[in-house]
Amino acid sequence: MAIKTEALLIATRNAHKTEEFQAIFGHRYDVRDLTSRDDLPEVEETGTTFEENSELKATTISKRLPGILVLADDSGLEVDALDGEPGVYSARYSGPNATDASNRQRLLELLTLTNARGKERSARFRCVLTLARDGEVLHQVDGRVGGVIANQEKGDNGFGYDPLFIPDGHCETFAQLTSATKHSMSHRGRAVDALVNAMGL
């Protein structure tokens, strides 16, 4: 008789994120997401930190699904010269109709106003993962990668702020690096490693 695999619901409708988590946890969990659950709400990210938004999504969804493990993430870019912006507003930095391109343009415009140069343009990508069951947080972990913001966009790979972010120890942006190199040091990858350790897997 086959052993029933425990369900793990990713609180997202982003297929790319789901595929990443399936590759990581698929051998231990039945990994699914919200795409087939029209009965579950879109959780409004009202928190002011990655921790708050990640926890809000995980606990809200897990309350609706008794006994099911729910994993949620919140991630974005923090730029020191902009006092940590765009932070939790990374995806909508340039307004309600924001696109990746318009967000990058706004970031460069604001950095130009600060006159920050070189190491003064320090920044980090962060990802906070929260694992919850029945509305209770089981684990919350943080992954991050530091670097600087380039003066102009470079590279065609990646998405979001990748064409502007040069990780520590490299001379190329995330969008110029290979996917394998980027994933080996990414904030999400480091957060997942921390979660795997916390779960004892």
Where are the chain's structural domains? 6-199
Select the CATH number that applies to the domain covering 6-199 from these four: 3.40.50.300, 3.30.360.10, 1.10.3720.10, 3.90.950.10. 3.90.950.10
Q: Which residues are within 8 A (CB) of 148 and not within 5 positions of it... i.e. 6 or more apart?
A: 118, 119, 121, 122, 123, 165, 166
What are the beta bridge partners of residue 77?
125
Using the 8-state DSSP alphabet, how is residue 93 labeled? T
Please, which pLDDT band fits residue 2 given cuts at 50, 70 and 90?
Answer: very low
Segment among 2-16, 72-86, 104-118 with least mean pLDDT: 2-16
Mean pLDDT, the chain, integer: 91
* b/e sequence 16-42, b meaning 16+ C-beta within 10 Å: ebbebbbebbeeebebbbbeeeeebee
Active centre residues (catalytic): 74
pLDDT value at residue 125: 96
- Distances from the Cα of 128 to the Cαs of 44, 57, 68, in angstroms? 17, 12, 20
Confidence of residue 24 (pLDDT cuts 50, 70, 90): confident
- The structure tokens listed for 181 are 């190199």
- Is the Cβ–Cβ distance between 76 and 144 less than 8 Å? no
